[in-house]
Chain A
């Protein structure tokens, strides 16, 4: 298998500096739904201008380039260890080239490693699949938005909701309200229902790879995604928390089997700078695309 380091650097550069069209389209639409002259309208104007400038000058959309989260899908026979090493090398090069801010600090001491590598940093997930080619997804998950994520055990004394779709709805509404504008609204919510604490949150984050304009194959979840999108916007928190019609650009949900004793609802908050791209390596050709 060919060395992917240089291609991975390109993937990081593209993800950090070039916002995906589905997100840009949603931000443009959001701007038309805000009253001209308001702070919300102005904020979206500044955001869209920033997106264009970052693309034009190949500079990071946001100075917080976050935790780089990679997801690798590979055919039988590919070495996970080799790919992990190439990812580590690529992250280090991309940091040197200012596409990433050095963000990896030791948990307790706060000491910065300087090149975005460290204990389990960056995050890499692996999945073997039936296809003959490799695909690498990358998401840059900023710290401010990550701090707005949360997890509910349903029901609990603090959260007396029911173990059904309406209980899920209540959890997501609570999470959106608690976040206010702090996660750099308008954000995107990924929701995982069921699983254990870890698998549930992972499922929530995986939803953030979905296109904003897709439909959920599960009709009940599809209806709830659209309803929650509408209802969260009715909260009126607005871009940056300035008040306004757009608090989120979308809600994406999925479920996992759980043990009878547990019912988790996990909510991952992604900022408007929803940076994620997918690279495909097929017959020696490398393409980088938005989801």
Chain B
């Protein structure tokens, strides 16, 4: 049975999750991928926030605390009334954000990152230190996840392009699996080493 995670998510809730747990995420979250992570790192984390970027920073600072970052480059439709709608919104490969993720989690108090393919040691340590988890969405399930995105509440840095902008969305029952928890466990490392052992066994037989 899947556990419900509703934004704002608190630390004890995150600490109670273990790899392999299935969850349904609801609430207001943000998409962010390559350009967005680089931007957060350069403007907010490494240096003093430039005055021009202050409005974006304020939205993210308030919105990301206890919330979720989703690695996604959506297909977005602009409706006749001028509002946006997510058409197809599956996860993109997360490993590209490895250099930034732990710092972003720490700085903004992010409780979960949703993506696909898993991340590595630095993010895993960040999750452990700050009380966060990595959630694996179902790659390719773009229509279903698009349906989970009930509202597009805002878009920031649209000049990065549609896939790369920060989209503030309200999701309902977004299905994910915990594959990296806040206790230093990674399902990806376990599957890799178990399958490696089996591979060697198969290779040793003709």
A contacts, CB < 8 Å to B: 37-39, 42-43, 46-47, 49-50, 53-54, 57, 59-64, 98, 101, 112, 142, 144, 166, 170, 173-174, 177, 180-182, 184, 231, 234-238, 240-243, 271-273
Q: Does A241 contact B22, Cβ atoms closer than 8 Å?
A: no
In the assembled complex, how far is the CB of residue A58 from the closest CB belonging to chain B, in whole angstroms?
A: 10
A240 close to B198 (CB less than 8 A): no
Contact with A along B16-53 (1 / 0, CB 8 A): 00001010000000000000000000000000000000
Q: List 29 A-B contacts (CB under 8 A).
A: A39-B20, A43-B177, A46-B138, A47-B138, A49-B144, A50-B138, A50-B141, A50-B142, A53-B147, A59-B143, A62-B88, A63-B89, A64-B90, A64-B142, A144-B116, A173-B202, A177-B195, A180-B192, A181-B191, A182-B117, A184-B139, A231-B202, A235-B199, A236-B195, A240-B139, A241-B187, A242-B20, A242-B136, A271-B139
In the complex, residue of chain A having the shortest beta-carbon distance to the beta carbon of B72: A63
Contact partner, A63, options B88, B93, B136, B203, Cβ 8 Å: B88
Q: A42-B22, A50-B138 are in contact. Are A235 and B195 (CB under 8 A)?
A: yes
Residues of A within 8 A of B141 (CB): 46-47, 49-50, 62
Q: Which of B75, B139, B161 has most chain A Cβ within 10 Å?
A: B139
Number of interface residues of B (CB under 8 A): 44
Which residue of chain A lies nearest to B146 when distances are taken between CB atoms in the complex? A59
Query: What's the count of A-B pairs with C-beta under 8 Å?
Result: 133
* Residue of B20, B74, B89, B138 ringed by the most chain A CB atoms within 10 A: B138
Whether A237 lies near B2 (C-beta < 8 A) is no
Partner of A241, one of B89, B145, B191: B191
A242:B140 contact, CB within 8 angstroms: no
